[in-house]
Amino acid sequence: MSELFAVHTPSEAWRTFRLAFQPRPRSQRIAVIDALGRVLAADLSAPHDLPSFPRSTVDGYAVAAQDTHGASDSLPAYLEVVGEALMGQTADVPLDEGQCAIVHTGGMIPSDADAVVMVEHTQRVRDAQGQPGSSAADFTPYTIEVYRPVAAGQNVIQVGEDVRQGEAVLPAGHVIRPQDIGGLLALGIVEIDVAARPVAAILSQGDEVVAPDQEPGPGQVRDINSQTLAALARQAGAEAITFPIVPDQLEALQAAAAQALAQADLLVMSAGSSVSVRDMTAQVIDGLGRPGILVHGVSVKPGKPTILAVCDGKPVFGLPGNPVSAMVIFDLFVTPVIRSMLGADEVRKTRVPARLARNIASATGREDIVQVRLEIRSSQPRTGTVGDRPEQGIESAAPLRSGRSLTEPGAPPRTGTVGDRPEQGIESAAPPRSGRSLTEPGVPPRTGTVGDRPEQGIESAAPPRSGRSLTEPAAPPRTGTVGDRPEQGDESVGRVGAAPYRDQELWAVPVLGKSNLIYTLIRAEGFVRVPLDSNGIAQGEWVMVELY
């Protein structure tokens, strides 16, 4: 195996993989009541009109609309009530001119009526003695005054107004929702054909990995990836089976991978996809079938050492062992493959616009996926603090999770430190080109700085594609803003996606950590994509946050 792999852009990697893998969804017939979340395997059409009879939308009187024309409070129309359309029965109450019948919400209206007057717009004539009965035979007619005219069809649902016979109801690839179940049952459809769930085998490896219920020894960690990836597979629509952790031994990994693939429709292996002497995943995958590995290396961070393969018609993925990397790559490649195996529509992620709370640098030729949390902050350009350091453009902030204001009193910011120790190479910083010390008051931030300290290797950064410096003010989004008016009936400050006052905006705060482990994702509410060759995104720029 070569010591270095050639990377592909995410789009190139996806195209290469899809040319080699063309799934054919299988179908199975199940009860509609068990179909929540399942994917339709065939188009559905209505077997009959819905509703199949004209129904009243209100409690009132079924009338001929022309008998109410000109009715008002001062000059009501007088109608004789000659019967009642009983619920669950045919409305066989004949009506002549000037006559009407009692109807109830959802009930059938008589064939001689074409509208319904709401009971609130009528009044019974005082001397009328008639009373409704349990059947037409014992009904005693009486007279009412009508104070509002109605038009033909008013307060009536016509035959086929919901759906006509033969009309398409739901297309193949549609994911069944609770309302779909009700709609299908209303048409008498009690069984449907859905895509069979593909089976995803999850295989983790590593001498240092132990089961979650075991106490880790020195140098050992509990297995995170197996159940996390299995949950992602189920969320995408697959069935997931996990296998015992495999040690870093070639023969053991070959046997486990072959067994897992034989029992499943796709295989996801985590760890061992890089190029060190202990990373054997590529060698194992290449031995599982033809054509084998299609892509080894994707220009994305995190997740560069990713493997995409097809082995004897089954997709196989080699994911990095880092939990965040594994989850990012699963979302990027495995989830779309599972959806294609189901014949399902593409998952539409919820996206919200927000301002970026700090600079994000990006290397040339790489797409970065940065985890963020969302906060509602003042839009006034005043200085507040984030953690223990100043943040530009923030007067006050309401973090959505921590519950503390970002401007709470705390330790003063320390220049050039990370945590409780000096940042390497910044403990005693040389004066910048301006000739003044970094700690002198009033010094504006240098181009390419992050927060109050220089980003390593970016003292003078090239401007992004927009042609503006990283410290230039950002233009507002072209279409609308987040939180430019209060949400009706909602005065809470901490709700994602809506700022309650005009001077507040939604901000995306990068969630960063040296370990980049699972709690990076736990603390994040979404992510921002930094495009290839974008040279990063400047603080204050508007970005689209894809929510989890």
pLDDT tens digits, one per residue of 384-442: 444 444 444 333 344 444 443 333 333 343 444 434 443 443 333 334 344 444 334 44
Number of H helices, E strands in the chain: 8, 33
Q: Which helix (H) or strand (E) holds 380?
A: none
C-alpha–C-alpha distance, residues 321 and 449, integer Å: 31
pTM: 0.72
Average pLDDT score over residue span 265-276: 79
CB count, 10 Å around CB of 290?
10
Average pLDDT score over residue span 173-194: 97
Cα dist from 375 to 385, 394, 397, 506, 544, whole Å: 13, 11, 7, 6, 14
* Domains within the chain, CATH numbers bracketed: 10-24+197-212+222-342 (3.40.980.10), 27-51+160-195 (3.90.105.10), 55-157 (2.170.190.11), 350-410+445-548 (no CATH)
Average pLDDT score over the chain: 80
CB count, 10 Å around CB of 255?
13
C-alpha–C-alpha distance, residues 204 and 493, integer Å: 42
Give the pLDDT confidence score for residue 502 in this predicted structure: 60
Q: Which of 210-214, 381-385, 420-424 has the lowest mean pLDDT?
A: 420-424
Task: Kindly give, in sequence order, each residue whose CB lies less than 8 Å from that of residue 19, ignoring residues fewer than 6 positions away.
Answer: none
Percent of the chain with pLDDT over 70: 72
Helices (H), 312-379: 323-329, 335-342
C-alpha–C-alpha distance, residues 466 and 535, integer Å: 10
pLDDT tens-place string over residues 39-75: 999 999 999 999 999 999 999 999 999 999 999 999 9
By C-alpha distance, which of 331, 229, 317, 306 is closest to 269?
317
- 306 versus 475: the higher-pLDDT residue is 306
